[in-house]
């Protein structure tokens, strides 16, 4: 019998008492994800899920209907959980409620540009501990590095509703099959191959990249005729959750570097609710995650919506990228 998410969480909470609130929270998230997936599958029940909301989020993106729907669903789930702080991409400031032991950083809807295209999108979450000092100075709760995460994961709303999750002891994948009782473990625990055969990047930004990034991609593209001595394929979905899941299953490298566009000096992705939770899941599956130079999980975030360059995936390829990205000149 396949392991259920419920049994997995119960066992983790029994083994480590500090994971009890985490287990409770992830149960609420799983229920929220099922409702979000149902809304997507139904095409929004008359609403246009990709319709703009005439409002920008804190990162400067126009909010879409589904961003708001997902934010509401996970805010309600957080309120029903032992969560004291809710830091969301879709809210300018962290929302504080209750005196629970957890802080949640969340990207309620990842891949918003793909909503109307029926391509996989998702929700990414990171759970951090709340210490006494954070209650007296709440601004500090989201300045903890990713190494402090108690749990992290992401749901994928796609052909399958999946949960990729880590509580710090490996990464697991759970599937919610229609008609089944909740989420059950799906396939083997991901083990990211050391070497990559594919890369993922938005190559239309090439002219804005630093010379090191450009040199890296030129050498990947040169394949077996170039210095890398072998061919690489390219895949880019444009929803990080989907690009990442491919890497969990068959390796590869994803990068979103900083570039010369205004506002993109540190790339596009946000550290607290995109790169840190992804880095935790990736490391726990045997991969590596950096900002191009430093281990992602050790970087202290600058604030709730801080951006960071991001490179993750197969260990040897993340290391190879670092060589190019950090080379002077
Ligand atoms: O369109 P670009 O610049 O390639 O950016 C794509 C990236 O932006 C994101 O959509 C950002 O996430 P949001 O949709 O949550 O803003 C990632 O999922 C994706 O990897
Ligand atoms: Mg996102
Ligand atoms: Mg988002």
Instruction: State the ipTM, two decimals.
Output: 0.98
Question: What are 233's strand-pairing partners?
Answer: 198
**Same domain flag for 39 and 115:** yes
Residues comprising the binding site for substrate?
110-113, 202, 236
Q: Is the pLDDT of residue 329 over 70?
A: no
Domain contains 212: yes
pLDDT at 206: 98
pLDDT band of 68, cuts 50, 70, 90: very high
The phi, psi pair for 250, rounded to 5°, reads -140, 15
pLDDT band at 38 (very low <50, low <70, confident <90, very high): very high
Task: Find out whether the beta carbon of 305 lies less than 6 Å from any atom of ligand 1.
Answer: no
Helix axes 276-284, 240-250, angle to 10 degrees: 10
Condensed to tens digits (0 to 9), the pLDDT of residues 100-142 reads 999 999 999 999 999 999 999 999 999 999 999 999 888 899 9
Do 230 and 102 fall into the same domain? no
Verify that 291 and 248 share a domain, yes or no. yes
Please list, residue by residue across 64-91, b when 16 or more beta carbons sit within 10 angstroms of its beta carbon and e when fewer do: bbbbbbbbebbbebbeebbbbbbbbbbb
Both tokens of residue 33? 């994800």
Domain boundaries, position 169 = 5-185
Q: Is residue 171 part of a domain?
A: yes
- End residue of a domain, out of 185, 212, 235: 185
| End-of-domain residue from the set 162, 185, 208 | 185
Which ligand has the minimum distance to the alpha carbon of residue 114? 1
Looking at the domain assignment, is residue 191 inside a domain? no
Output the average pLDDT for the chain. Answer: 95
Please indicate, yes or no, whether residues 14 and 142 belong to a single structural domain of this protein: yes
3-class state of residue 31 by DSSP: helix
Q: Are residues 99 and 241 in the same domain?
A: no
Report the pLDDT value the prediction gives residue 299, as an integer from 0 to 100. 98
Same domain assignment for residues 174 and 75? yes
Mean pLDDT of 308-312: 98
Q: Are residues 168 and 32 in the same domain?
A: yes
**Pair 285, 156 in one domain:** no
Final residue in a domain of this structure, among 161, 185, 209: 185
Reported as a single tens digit per residue, the pLDDT across 178-190 is 776 799 999 999 9
Residue 35: predicted pLDDT: 96
Decide whether any atom of ligand 1 lies within 6 Å of the 240 Cβ. yes
Q: What is the pLDDT of residue 239?
A: 98
Q: Over 60: is that where the pLDDT of 37 sits?
A: yes
- pTM for the model: 0.97
Same domain? 134 vs 110: yes
- Supply the residue whose CA is at minimum distance from atom 20 of ligand 1: 240
Question: Which among 273, 316, 293, 287 has a CA at the least distance from the CA of 146?
Answer: 273
* Ligand 1 site, residue 239, Cβ cutoff 6 A: yes
Judge if 202 and 261 occupy the same domain.
yes
- What is the tens place of the pLDDT at every residue in 132-179? 999 988 889 999 999 999 999 999 999 999 999 999 999 999 999 877
| 170 domain residue, yes or no | yes
Residue 259 has pLDDT above 80, yes or no: yes
- Report pLDDT for 45: 59
Tell me what pLDDT residue 166 has: 98
Q: What is the CATH number of the domain that holds 244?
A: 3.40.190.80
Instruction: List CB-based neighbours of ion ligand 3 within 5 Å.
Output: 89, 107, 109-110
Q: How confident is the model at residue 79 (pLDDT cuts 50, 70, 90)?
A: very high
Residues 160-197 as b or e (16 or more Cβ within 10 Å = b): ebbbbbbbbeebbbbbbeeeeeebbbbeeebebbeebe
In a domain, 272, yes or no: yes
Q: Residue 35: which CATH number? A: 3.30.540.10
Number of domains within the chain: 2
Pocket perturbation via mutation, ligand 1, pick of 119, 234, 239 by most ligand atoms within 8 A of CB = 239
% the chain with pLDDT above 90? 89
- Is 244 within a domain? yes
User: Residues 19, 167: one domain?
Assistant: yes
**pLDDT tens per residue across span 205-254:** 999 999 999 999 999 999 999 999 999 999 999 999 999 999 999 999 99
**Pick from 171, 122, 150: which is nearest to 22 by CA?**
150
Residue 193, domain member (yes or no): no
Query: Does residue 190 belong to any structural domain of this protein?
Result: no
On whether both 25 and 173 belong to a single domain, the answer is yes
What pLDDT does residue 47 have? 65
pLDDT value of position 69: 95
If you measure from the C-alpha of residue 197 to the centroid of ligand 1, how many angstroms do you get, rounded to a whole number? Answer: 22
């Amino acid at each position: 019998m396949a392991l259920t998410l419920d049994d997995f969480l119960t066992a983790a909470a029994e083994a480590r008492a500090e994971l009890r609130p985490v287990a409770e929270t992830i149960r609420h998230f799983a229920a929220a994800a099922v409702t979000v997936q149902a809304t997507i599958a139904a095409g929004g029940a008359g609403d246009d899920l990709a319709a703009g909301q005439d409002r920008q989020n804190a990162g400067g993106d126009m909010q879409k209907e589904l961003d708001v729907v997902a934010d509401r669903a996970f805010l309600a789930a957080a309120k029903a959980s032992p969560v004291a702080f809710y830091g969301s991409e879709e809210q300018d400031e962290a929302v504080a409620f209750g005196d629970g032991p957890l802080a949640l950083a969340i990207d309620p809807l990842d891949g918003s540009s793909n909503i109307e295209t029926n391509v996989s999108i998702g929700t990414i979450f990171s759970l951090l501990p709340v210490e006494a000092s954070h209650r007296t100075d709440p601004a500090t709760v989201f300045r903890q590095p990713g190494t402090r995460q108690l749990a992290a994961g992401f749901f994928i709303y796609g052909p399958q509703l999946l949960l990729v999750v880590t509580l710090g002891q490996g990464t697991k994948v759970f599937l919610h099959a229609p008609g089944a009782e909740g989420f059950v473990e799906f396939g083997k625990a991901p083990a990211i191959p050391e070497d990559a055969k594919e890369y993922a990047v938005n190559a239309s930004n090439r002219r804005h990249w630093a010379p090191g990034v450009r040199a890296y991609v030129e050498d990947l593209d040169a394949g077996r005729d170039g210095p890398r001595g072998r061919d690489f394929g390219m895949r880019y979905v444009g929803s990080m959750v989907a690009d990442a899941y491919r890497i969990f299953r068959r390796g590869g490298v994803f990068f979103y570097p900083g570039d010369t566009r205004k506002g993109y000096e540190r790339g596009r992705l946000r550290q607290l609710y995109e790169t840190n939770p992804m880095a935790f899941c990736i490391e726990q599956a045997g991969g590596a995650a950096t900002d191009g130079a430093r281990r992602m999980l050790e970087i202290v975030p600058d604030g709730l919506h801080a951006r960071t360059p991001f490179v993750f995936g197969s260990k040897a390829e993340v290391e190879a990228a670092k060589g190019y990205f950090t080379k002077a000149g």
